[in-house]
Amino acid sequence: MKIVKTLTQERAEYAYDKINQIRLKPQYSPAKVAMHLRRLPAMVLANGLGQTLAFLLADAGCDKNKPSYLVYDMLAQWLVAKRKLYEGQPHDLIYHLVSGNRVAYQRAQQEVWALLDWLRKFADAYLPSTETKGEGKL
């Protein structure tokens, strides 16, 4: 029998899995990932989703192992691969946001706010807030 989950449960499970992956791979700088996740809701609210994602990409440069790219990828994977709000590959999300319509953009922005709520909560619970502080436990 297949377990049916609510969208909220799916978001929570996805966020939990992503935070756990970061926690288990300290080369990704869990404290810096947590810092981004704590700041992003305000950035999305103030600047919009497109500018926030552009900031993350610019901060990462070409390094896909930087914390800012990992956060971008978490959001892109959710919107493109999991929720299927955009077609194509997750790394093309920024293109779809700037070239798509307003309704799709607003839907994606609301979905990111809902996902960030879970990501931020799990980051607060399980990731260190500074590089010197010990890691949380799952």
pLDDT at 34 over 70: yes
Distance from C-alpha of 31 to C-alpha of 71, rounded to nearest angstrom: 12
Residue 136 confidence (pLDDT) above 50:
no
Under 8 Å between Cβ of 47 and 39? no
137 pLDDT more than 50:
no
- Give the pLDDT confidence of 90-128 residue by residue, as tens digits: 989 999 999 999 999 999 999 999 999 999 999 999 998
Kindly list the domain boundaries of the chain, sorted by start residue: 26-126
Whether the predicted pLDDT of 77 surpasses 70: yes
Give dist(CA 115, CA 104) in Å, integer.
16
CATH of span 26-126: 1.10.520.30
* CA–CA distance, 82 with 73 (Å, rounded to integer): 12
- CA angle 88/93/94 to nearest 5° reads 140
What confidence score (pLDDT) does residue 21 get?
93
pTM above 0.85, yes or no: yes
What's the pLDDT band for 133 if we cut at 50, 70, 90?
Answer: very low
pLDDT of residue 2: 80
